[in-house]
Structure 1
Amino acid sequence: MTVRAMFHICMELWGIFICLICAGGIFIATPHKTRRTRIKILMQIACMLLLGTDALSWYFRVDADETAYYMVRISNFSVFCINYIFMSFFATYVWLTVSKHQHRKPAALRAVYALSVIGILLLIITQFTGLFYYFDDHNLYHRGNFYLLSQAIAVLGIALCLFMLISYRKNLDRIIFLSMMSFFVLPVLATIYQALAYSFSLQCLAIVISTQIMFVMDTVEMNMRFHSQQAAYEKARYEAEHDGMTGLLNKEAGWKHMRKYFDRMDSHDEAMLMFVDIDDFKTINDTYGHTVGDFWIREVASQLRHIYRQDDIICRYGGDEFLALIRNTASEQVLETTLGMFFQQLARTSEQHGQDVHCSVGVCRIAAADGASLGTGRADGDAIGSVDFDQCVAQADLALYETKRFNKGTFTVYNYDRSQPAPANIRA
């Protein structure tokens, strides 16, 4: 075996290994197999067969025994045949990429199919007439009188694929267009070189390398598109759940998260639910303008977010009103300390702006059930552990009403009482 043959065989075996990895990656990365994905896998399989048969032709050439006689002929026939089949696969891939689900196939695609069939038919005739190539008595390959016709069919097929790609350029993203354009460079150069020179056979390697480059760029673009869609989805979900002015959860999202937490509470769990309302907010708007009013809404939201923990739930309930759920504690000391910090910071900011702005707070305090605190709570989640969210909201609302009526700028606490039914004037 010559050095040139060994070089070809080694390169093509490496190519088969790379194609196998890429085909596996495409198969695993796309759980929902579209027609375009299946064509990509078929193109990878065609690349592996192309390299494998070309390696066989290099391995058995020159040998004159019966096995080599048949293997050289079978492998060379397969190389030409797979080239034409690959041309049809590539044309289909181009069409599926650019068509945007159009059902009518263009004339260029049908022409590529026809060229592939013609090429294969002429290849069959070659086995009896030496049209494209023939073998001498020493089992050596030689080009036939119409060898250039075989290359012309391939070049014409590539040109038709290029025509399709350019015609539907507007349907493609820039990266996809460039990745598909990159495919044409190496095979065209290799075909021209092979038609003019009679030495290294580079066409198979050029097709395989170009295919991998194209698919790598295609995969990169698909990943970029996926992450872009994911980011757009996350942004849309965030905007759907959050208030645009304050960045807090909006009423619907906050209500949902709080209710979910209450549904999971048992007799050992504690919490505090509070309404926070900016006092005389209409007067602030009328006196200082809506821009100042918006500032105080953002300021109160910022201070609430700063004072309470990240896992507490705070939402803008509407207008100048906020609803906060402080989880896993019903400590009066914690309540007094945090609200004291809140009132002090608000007073400090109000003084800096030369305005008199303060908030009233109504709190529903949910302590652990008496049975739970004694270690006798039942594990079946019965009345000892149950907490009615709507009743808590109603009690916090009543506490706020009392604060605003009798002592604005402070807070009032109602202890949650399971024995009392929820009032009928629950706000939702």
Structure 2
Amino acid sequence: MASLGRHIIVEYYNCSPELLNDVVHIEKSMENAAEEAGATIINSTFHHFSPYGVSGVVVIQESHLAIHTWPEYGYASVDLFTCGDTVNPWVSYQMLKDSFQAGHGSAVELKRGEMALLKRKNFDVKAMRDEKSSEDGDPIRTRDVWFTERDDKIALSLKHDGKLYDVQSDYQRVEVYNTQAYGNMLTLDGMVMTTEKDEYVYHEMITHVPLLTHPDPKRVLIIGGGDGGTAREVLKHENLEEVVMVEIDDKVIEASKMHLPTIAQSLDHPKLNLIIDDGIKYVNDAADGSFDLVIVDSTDPVGPAEGLFTVDFYKEVHRILSADGLMITQSESPRFNSKVFKEIYQTYRGIFGQDNVHCYLAHIPTYPTGMWSFSYSSKGSANPMNLKPTEEVDAFVKANKLRYYNADLHKAAFALPNFVKEMIG
């Protein structure tokens, strides 16, 4: 043996972008490449970054295989490092080339630890390793696969056991991950939309705040909300005569019914009129004063939701509200998306009036910064502090087993930190 290790520096070009953005495929490919080369896997750790790119490493008893991908360029950079002569890294090279559907690849092999330059040193193994790690036996194999939503300055990472759903719809990439900490998680174009473990915070706050302060709501319109959580909470109010939900992407509904059944449980409710269509078009075509409450349950202002963040759209919502009608929207994070947050409230107040627009907050762990905001815009006399009698609210909370919302929290949600007050004026 002329050297301690073999190090192959690899570049793959013209690969399948979809495969290079699929963290589970890459993990399996890297592990298969290690095993076929004769290596013993100890640990694998992989991260998928939003909106694209995967980094990962397979630690083997004989060293490691590491990768980073640029799906937008169809390019992957790989290091194959093996110790001794029992593992052939060129087997891994060819398997990965095939697995990523690379148009071509290039590689340079380096010999690491030239034996002619090394002198063996004696040392006491027991003095350098603890008792447990010095025991005889095979290494324990572990696995870490991560989804990471990030921008230039902040990131959220969740460990998961793989994808349950992955479809490119006509509008966006719809995925469901089986996360270890938050259950099944829905993402759209790489952004976290909802998870089984913390969804109730968002859905209870976007619905019960308006419905328990409107004087007599009968007809509710939900724009978006394809996971079904907002509809589920709205339909707990038995006094409503009709709930209309307009979701543009049927794949969001399909994914939610399949993998988020506790959230999507009311999408077949007889009182729900579920329409697959463009919410902007529906609002534009709706009659004046036809809804008591409009909930805009949208994604961030990108992709198919971009049109929901315009003055023209909000003016149309104002038009279709009844005399005491309310518009509720998710209004981004004051910390994470400050520019949009401030612009939203300027826009609403220009339409509904300075004193008729209110901000309230909730804490959602899987949303950027954890602090999330909602807007409460009143066309008439409805006011967020005119909550129904406490005993009535308490009875509703108890009967429906709400996990976040209650009368005290309702009032506290409108008590804004000073920095938020300053942002919206």
Higher strand share: 2
Q: TM-score, normalised by structure 2?
A: 0.20
TM-score (norm 1): 0.20
